[in-house]
Amino acid sequence: MKLTMRALGIVAVAALPLTSAWSLPTPTSKYVTGNVNPKRRRYQSTRHLSNEAFPTQISNENAALANPPSSHPLDRILNTVLSAAPSAITITAATMATFALNNYFLKLGPVLSSSVIGLLSAIVLPPKLALAALCGSFAGMAKTAVIPGVAPSAALGFICALTMSLFDKKSWLVGVGGRLGFIAQCACTLQFIVFSLFVAPSSNAALLGPFPPVTGLIKSFPQIALFTAVGAFGMQYWKRIMSGASARLSSPVAAVGVTGAVAAITLPPAAAGPAFCGSFVAMASPAKVPDRRGLLLASVFAALAQQSLAGALLGGWGGKLGTAALMGVLAYTYVDGVFGAKDDEESGVEEPEVKMKDVGKVEKRVEVPVEEPKKKLTKKLTG
């Protein structure tokens, strides 16, 4: 009896592979593809079965790999904080350093202080962190009438980091010159408003104040427009001459730093500020400002923006020049879009005609140029 039970056990174990093979989908099943002889149903091996024989199992495995289980909300928050920490620390440190150089230690002034921090960050830091440091340096250009102390400047740097993170996440104003300065101005304005709820601000600082006489603005406009354009073209010239020498020194951050430093050392403050603003205009992407004509016009609009902000953000506001540069670039892109479209309509320029033809299963595109507005050329496809 014991031998019989042992023999049955051995047979059962030996039959396990056969039972698993029997449990596989049969050739007549709807999951099996291809021509298979039904008589060989029992001997159908797994190597003859495609992945489609196991649609449920494989789809579940792929889904598990493609969509891993969601982590805990605290883990996601921690990962977000850790990923944003280098940029936040860089912005805060650059804000505090620029603010100290501007108001306390060497008292270099806002333009030179920001330029020094920007140039050093371009040489030492990776490009992404160098941009973050440049944004922080714009916030640190604020005077003590607006940001009353080193500790508030640290808070300003933190707010600037949060603002930049939001702009990057939403992809706001990407490619527009003056974007970093505008972010710094938003952070500076937000902190000024919040602090004003608890502490009376300085009498020299105000969001809005008396507007200067229009005659004075008209007289000073040619000078502001000239030095804004000089700063824009000077920044691009530095990038061009350094492009083959050093990748770091030819970066936009380094070019802005060099332009601002040269302007602050060689020009009076009334001209150094517009030149520094012009370097922000030149940071615009080619999609926004494609050529020299566009750069010149954007600089003129930025000069107008500087004049329009003469009665706002008073007392030494961080990011005010960047805000003017952004306004100039946006004004140029709007005007160019409106009048450029009208010029195309009046000249009768049409888009190249595109014809499609199937060649087998591949679509072949052929662009046929249009030489005359009223005549459309056609071209036969061969092959």
Q: Which of 155-159, 199-203, 311-315 has the lowest mean pLDDT?
A: 199-203
pLDDT confidence band for 341 (50 / 70 / 90): low
The confidence score (pLDDT) of residue 107 equals 92
Q: Which of 81, 196, 187 is nearest to 136 (CA)?
A: 187
pLDDT confidence band for 347 (50 / 70 / 90): low
φ and ψ at residue 375, rounded to 5 degrees? -115, 130
The confidence score (pLDDT) of residue 10 equals 43
The confidence score (pLDDT) of residue 24 equals 45
Q: Which residue has the higher pLDDT, 216 or 358?
A: 216
Q: Which of 26-30, 146-150, 275-279 has the lowest mean pLDDT?
A: 26-30
As a whole number, mean pLDDT of residues 350-364 equals 46
Residue 207 has pLDDT above 80, yes or no: yes
Q: What percent of the chain shows pLDDT beyond 70?
A: 70
SS3 361: coil
Residue 3 has pLDDT above 70, yes or no: no
pLDDT confidence band for 42 (50 / 70 / 90): very low
As a whole number, mean pLDDT of residues 160-166 equals 95
As a whole number, mean pLDDT of residues 126-147 equals 96
From the number of C-beta atoms within 10 Å of its C-beta (0-12, 13-18, 19+), residue 121 rates as buried
- DSSP letter string over 290-352? -SHHHHHHHHHHHHHHHHHTTTEEETT-TTHHHHHHHHHHHHHHHHHHHHHHHHHHHHT--PP
Residue 61 has pLDDT above 90, yes or no: no
Q: First-to-last CA distance in the chain?
A: 82
Spatial distance between the Cα atoms of 138 and 322, rounded to a whole number of angstroms? 8
* Sequence-distant (≥ 6) Cβ neighbours of residue 250 within 8 angstroms: 238, 239, 242, 243
| Site of tokens 């603010």 | 99
The confidence score (pLDDT) of residue 364 equals 47
Structure tokens at 342: 């009208």
The confidence score (pLDDT) of residue 81 equals 73
The confidence score (pLDDT) of residue 139 equals 98
Residue 9 has pLDDT above 80, yes or no: no
The confidence score (pLDDT) of residue 287 equals 94
